[in-house]
A = this chain, B = another copy of it.
Amino acid sequence: MQLLFLGTGAGMPSKQRNTSALILKLLEERGTVWLFDCGEATQHQILHTTIKPRKIEKIFITHMHGDHIFGLPGLLGSRSFQGGDEPLEIYGPVGIKDYVTMTLKISRTHLTYPIVFHELVEGKVFEDRLMTVETRLLDHVIPSYGFRISQHPLPPKLQINKALLLGVPKGPLLAALKNGQDVELSDGTWVRSSDVTDAEERGFIVTILGDSRFCQAAIELAYDADVLVHEATFDGSAIKMAGEYGHSTVFEAAETARRANAHTLIMNHISARFLPEDEKLLLKQMREIHTCGFIARDFMEFEWIQHEKKIRKKQGSHL
């Protein structure tokens, strides 16, 4: 799993930061990628990466502000043009279906694949063998959602050599042991699954929030997360203004991470007011409250290291 930030700005594009979009790469886990928000020119940002639009399996939209959705019609059209034929699932607030349907219709964009729409209500919005996605309503000026993506525990690994030493023959008995069943050998001895398998390993928890004021729902969504992606539209001093505009300060992002016991905080939705040299100040403010964190930049990438159970920034990944 990797997190690739495509747009880390707030409100409008600037030369430094595009409007919101974030790729959750799940290529090793499920051969696909998921996209969170799709500001204008997200498909242009993708042109500068190795991402193939047809690999996008799901798109999650946090809220219906333009800086989070105006890239959607173009990306959907290009996914089609580039030979995408797998169904696409779009999760977003009420209105997302009308928006997509109408913009495609009026522009006569005919897709080669079906879209399945899921208009969000709080709770579990997706679950399969590998992962679960839950959503909660945050506190913005319009309905804005956050997502908690939990990878299920990894299947226990079979210690093959140990099983063979105990006399288990190659074949179906090994598979049964791997799947947690104890098995009887032809000489009548029993081999216990737990004796020849490693304990199952926990997977990752990633929390990705839409624009929001500081709120309890954010803390709950981020509980024990390995990584929390949280907006930080304002620096620590602007708490009143942040509240008025429905946004958060760096302090509030850090406080959410602290209260949630989240490990790594990545702050995005950074106002164009802040220049690259201001990032030091923002990070200093963050560290007063929460130690481990980053200010996201466009094309910055983070990867999950399974055996360390930690997210790590990829070197040289950003502009």
Contact = CB atoms under 8 A, between A and B. Distances in A.
Contacts of A15: 47-48
Residue among A65, A66, A71 with max Cβ neighbours from chain B (10 Å): A66
A78 interface: yes
Given A47-B13, A65-B108, A106-B95, A40 B81 contact: no
B13 A66 contact: no
Contacts of A44: 13, 18, 40-41, 44
Interface string A50-86: 0000000000000011100111011001100100000
B69 A107 contact: yes
A66 B65 CA distance: 20
Given A103-B99, A106-B98, A81 B47 contact: no
Contacts of A142: 108
A12 interface: yes
A35 to B, nearest CB: 16
What is the interface of chain A mostly: helix, strand, loop, or mixed? loop
A106 B48 contact: no
A11 interface: yes
Interface in A24-51: 40-41, 43-44, 47-48
Contact of A13 (B11, B43, B108, B141): B43
Contacts of A78: 12-13
Interface residues of A, number: 35
A66 B109 contact: yes
Contacts of A64: 106-108
Interface in A78-123: 78, 81, 95, 98-99, 102-103, 106-109
A194 interface: no
Nearest to A95: B106
A15 B46 CA distance: 10
Given A12-B78, A44-B41, A64-B108, A70 B73 contact: yes
Given A40-B44, A81-B11, A74 B65 contact: no
B12 A66 contact: no
A74 B44 CA distance: 15
Contacts of A69: 107
Contacts of A106: 64, 95, 98-99
Q: What 6 A-B pairs have minimum CB-CB distances, sorted nearest first?
A: A41-B41, A66-B107, A40-B74, A70-B74, A99-B106, A12-B78
Interface string A1-19: 0000000000111110011
A43 B67 CA distance: 12
A73 B66 contact: yes
Interface in A143-160: none
Contacts of A141: 108
27 contacts: A11-B81, A12-B43, A12-B78, A13-B43, A15-B48, A18-B44, A19-B74, A40-B41, A40-B74, A41-B44, A64-B107, A64-B108, A65-B107, A65-B108, A66-B73, A66-B74, A66-B103, A66-B109, A70-B70, A70-B73, A70-B107, A95-B106, A99-B102, A99-B103, A99-B107, A102-B102, A103-B103
